[in-house]
Amino acid sequence: MILVGLATAFAAAGQDAMRVTVPAGTRILIRMTDSVNSSQQKAGYRFTASLETNLQAENMVVAPRGTVIYGHLASASSAGKFAGSSDLTLELTDIMINGTAYPLMTSTYSVKGSGEGSNTAKKVIGGVGLGALIGGIAGGGKGAGIGALVGAAGGTAIAASKKGEQLSIPSESLLEFRLTQPVTLPVEN
Protein backbone atom coordinates (compact mmCIF):
# COMPACT_ATOMS: atom_id res chain seq x y z
CA MET A 1 0.00 0.00 0.00
CA ILE A 2 2.81 2.41 0.90
CA LEU A 3 4.69 1.53 -2.30
CA VAL A 4 1.60 2.33 -4.40
CA GLY A 5 1.29 5.70 -2.63
CA LEU A 6 4.97 6.46 -3.24
CA ALA A 7 4.70 5.48 -6.90
CA THR A 8 1.69 7.80 -7.29
CA ALA A 9 3.55 10.63 -5.54
CA PHE A 10 6.60 10.18 -7.80
CA ALA A 11 4.38 10.05 -10.89
CA ALA A 12 2.66 13.28 -9.81
CA ALA A 13 6.04 14.91 -9.10
CA GLY A 14 7.24 13.75 -12.53
CA GLN A 15 4.18 15.33 -14.16
CA ASP A 16 4.86 18.63 -12.36
CA ALA A 17 8.48 18.58 -13.52
CA MET A 18 7.28 18.17 -17.12
CA ARG A 19 5.09 21.31 -17.07
CA VAL A 20 6.10 24.61 -18.66
CA THR A 21 4.49 28.02 -18.24
CA VAL A 22 3.91 29.79 -21.53
CA PRO A 23 3.98 33.55 -20.77
CA ALA A 24 1.31 36.09 -21.64
CA GLY A 25 2.08 37.81 -24.93
CA THR A 26 3.25 34.60 -26.60
CA ARG A 27 2.27 34.54 -30.28
CA ILE A 28 0.04 31.68 -31.45
CA LEU A 29 -0.21 31.24 -35.21
CA ILE A 30 -3.05 28.93 -36.27
CA ARG A 31 -4.45 27.51 -39.50
CA MET A 32 -8.23 27.32 -39.60
CA THR A 33 -9.69 23.84 -40.10
CA ASP A 34 -13.30 25.05 -40.16
CA SER A 35 -14.74 27.99 -42.08
CA VAL A 36 -16.58 30.80 -40.30
CA ASN A 37 -19.18 32.94 -42.09
CA SER A 38 -21.09 35.97 -40.74
CA SER A 39 -24.32 34.89 -42.46
CA GLN A 40 -24.21 31.27 -41.25
CA GLN A 41 -22.66 31.10 -37.77
CA LYS A 42 -23.79 32.86 -34.61
CA ALA A 43 -21.86 33.96 -31.53
CA GLY A 44 -20.77 30.90 -29.55
CA TYR A 45 -20.06 28.76 -32.64
CA ARG A 46 -17.09 26.52 -31.84
CA PHE A 47 -14.40 26.10 -34.50
CA THR A 48 -11.35 23.89 -34.90
CA ALA A 49 -7.87 24.93 -36.01
CA SER A 50 -4.31 23.67 -35.71
CA LEU A 51 -1.01 25.22 -34.69
CA GLU A 52 0.88 26.43 -37.73
CA THR A 53 4.15 26.71 -35.80
CA ASN A 54 5.48 25.02 -32.67
CA LEU A 55 4.34 26.57 -29.39
CA GLN A 56 7.54 27.10 -27.42
CA ALA A 57 8.48 28.30 -23.96
CA GLU A 58 11.63 28.03 -21.86
CA ASN A 59 13.52 26.68 -24.92
CA MET A 60 11.14 23.71 -25.12
CA VAL A 61 8.47 22.75 -27.62
CA VAL A 62 5.30 22.66 -25.53
CA ALA A 63 3.04 21.76 -28.47
CA PRO A 64 4.26 20.90 -31.98
CA ARG A 65 2.94 22.24 -35.25
CA GLY A 66 -0.38 20.54 -36.09
CA THR A 67 -1.64 20.42 -32.48
CA VAL A 68 -5.44 20.84 -32.37
CA ILE A 69 -6.74 24.19 -31.12
CA TYR A 70 -10.35 25.09 -30.40
CA GLY A 71 -11.92 28.50 -30.41
CA HIS A 72 -15.27 30.15 -30.57
CA LEU A 73 -16.98 32.96 -32.39
CA ALA A 74 -17.08 35.63 -29.68
CA SER A 75 -19.34 37.91 -31.72
CA ALA A 76 -20.90 37.85 -35.14
CA SER A 77 -23.24 40.16 -36.94
CA SER A 78 -24.47 40.01 -40.46
CA ALA A 79 -25.03 43.23 -42.37
CA GLY A 80 -28.61 44.07 -43.16
CA LYS A 81 -29.97 45.58 -46.34
CA PHE A 82 -30.28 49.12 -44.98
CA ALA A 83 -27.70 49.59 -42.25
CA GLY A 84 -24.87 48.04 -40.34
CA SER A 85 -21.82 46.10 -41.27
CA SER A 86 -20.79 42.51 -40.83
CA ASP A 87 -18.25 41.60 -38.22
CA LEU A 88 -16.61 38.44 -36.92
CA THR A 89 -14.60 38.22 -33.71
CA LEU A 90 -12.79 34.97 -32.90
CA GLU A 91 -10.88 33.88 -29.83
CA LEU A 92 -9.05 30.71 -28.92
CA THR A 93 -10.39 28.68 -25.99
CA ASP A 94 -8.48 25.37 -25.70
CA ILE A 95 -5.39 23.51 -26.81
CA MET A 96 -5.31 19.69 -26.94
CA ILE A 97 -2.18 18.14 -25.43
CA ASN A 98 -1.92 14.38 -24.85
CA GLY A 99 -5.70 14.02 -25.27
CA THR A 100 -6.56 16.69 -22.71
CA ALA A 101 -8.00 20.12 -23.44
CA TYR A 102 -6.24 22.97 -21.62
CA PRO A 103 -8.00 26.35 -21.47
CA LEU A 104 -6.43 29.37 -23.15
CA MET A 105 -7.08 33.09 -22.74
CA THR A 106 -6.12 34.90 -25.95
CA SER A 107 -6.51 38.15 -27.78
CA THR A 108 -9.29 38.28 -30.34
CA TYR A 109 -9.07 38.25 -34.11
CA SER A 110 -11.64 40.61 -35.64
CA VAL A 111 -12.77 41.27 -39.18
CA LYS A 112 -15.21 44.06 -39.97
CA GLY A 113 -16.91 44.58 -43.30
CA SER A 114 -17.92 47.86 -44.85
CA GLY A 115 -21.51 48.75 -44.01
CA GLU A 116 -24.27 49.76 -46.35
CA GLY A 117 -25.65 52.39 -43.95
CA SER A 118 -23.89 55.40 -45.46
CA ASN A 119 -24.39 54.05 -48.99
CA THR A 120 -28.12 53.64 -48.29
CA ALA A 121 -28.37 57.26 -47.11
CA LYS A 122 -26.46 58.46 -50.19
CA LYS A 123 -28.73 56.48 -52.51
CA VAL A 124 -31.92 57.77 -50.86
CA ILE A 125 -30.65 61.39 -50.75
CA GLY A 126 -29.34 61.07 -54.31
CA GLY A 127 -32.73 59.73 -55.39
CA VAL A 128 -34.48 62.67 -53.68
CA GLY A 129 -32.21 65.17 -55.46
CA LEU A 130 -32.54 63.48 -58.83
CA GLY A 131 -36.32 63.14 -58.44
CA ALA A 132 -36.67 66.79 -57.42
CA LEU A 133 -34.54 67.92 -60.37
CA ILE A 134 -36.54 65.83 -62.87
CA GLY A 135 -39.87 66.85 -61.28
CA GLY A 136 -38.86 70.51 -61.24
CA ILE A 137 -37.85 70.51 -64.90
CA ALA A 138 -40.89 68.54 -66.04
CA GLY A 139 -43.40 70.47 -63.93
CA GLY A 140 -41.96 73.94 -64.25
CA GLY A 141 -40.95 73.90 -60.58
CA LYS A 142 -44.30 72.60 -59.24
CA GLY A 143 -43.41 68.90 -59.52
CA ALA A 144 -40.25 69.10 -57.39
CA GLY A 145 -41.98 67.79 -54.22
CA ILE A 146 -43.59 64.86 -56.02
CA GLY A 147 -40.35 64.16 -57.89
CA ALA A 148 -38.45 64.16 -54.56
CA LEU A 149 -40.81 61.54 -53.10
CA VAL A 150 -40.57 59.37 -56.20
CA GLY A 151 -36.76 59.75 -56.21
CA ALA A 152 -36.54 58.83 -52.49
CA ALA A 153 -38.60 55.71 -53.11
CA GLY A 154 -36.37 54.79 -56.06
CA GLY A 155 -33.19 55.33 -54.03
CA THR A 156 -34.57 53.23 -51.17
CA ALA A 157 -35.57 50.43 -53.56
CA ILE A 158 -32.05 50.33 -55.04
CA ALA A 159 -30.49 50.20 -51.55
CA ALA A 160 -32.92 47.49 -50.40
CA SER A 161 -32.05 45.26 -53.34
CA LYS A 162 -28.42 45.09 -52.18
CA LYS A 163 -27.62 42.93 -49.22
CA GLY A 164 -24.75 44.09 -47.01
CA GLU A 165 -21.30 42.56 -47.30
CA GLN A 166 -20.97 39.16 -45.62
CA LEU A 167 -17.68 38.09 -44.10
CA SER A 168 -16.03 34.70 -44.27
CA ILE A 169 -12.86 33.26 -42.80
CA PRO A 170 -12.27 30.20 -44.99
CA SER A 171 -10.69 26.94 -43.98
CA GLU A 172 -6.88 27.05 -44.30
CA SER A 173 -6.71 30.75 -43.33
CA LEU A 174 -3.73 31.72 -41.16
CA LEU A 175 -4.64 33.79 -38.10
CA GLU A 176 -2.49 35.17 -35.29
CA PHE A 177 -3.47 35.41 -31.63
CA ARG A 178 -1.54 36.26 -28.46
CA LEU A 179 -1.94 34.78 -25.00
CA THR A 180 -3.45 37.36 -22.66
CA GLN A 181 -2.83 35.17 -19.58
CA PRO A 182 0.06 32.79 -18.95
CA VAL A 183 -0.81 29.11 -19.23
CA THR A 184 0.96 26.14 -17.68
CA LEU A 185 1.02 23.14 -19.97
CA PRO A 186 2.61 19.72 -19.92
CA VAL A 187 5.42 19.16 -22.38
CA GLU A 188 4.06 16.78 -25.02
CA ASN A 189 5.75 13.36 -24.99
How far is the C-alpha of 138 from the C-alpha of 114, rounded, in Å?
A: 37
Q: For residue 140, what pLDDT is reported? A: 56
Q: For residue 14, what pLDDT is reported? A: 47
Q: For residue 41, what pLDDT is reported? A: 87
Averaged pLDDT in 10-residue chunks for the chain of 189 residues: 44 61 97 91 94 95 96 82 72 95 96 61 46 50 53 41 68 96 86
Q: For residue 158, what pLDDT is reported? A: 34
On the CB side of 116, CA atoms within 13 Å amount to 20
Domain ranges of the chain: 2-114+165-186, 117-161
Quote the distance between the C-alpha of residue 21 and its chain's center.
Answer: 27
CATH fold, domain 2-114+165-186, is: Lipocalin (2.40.128)
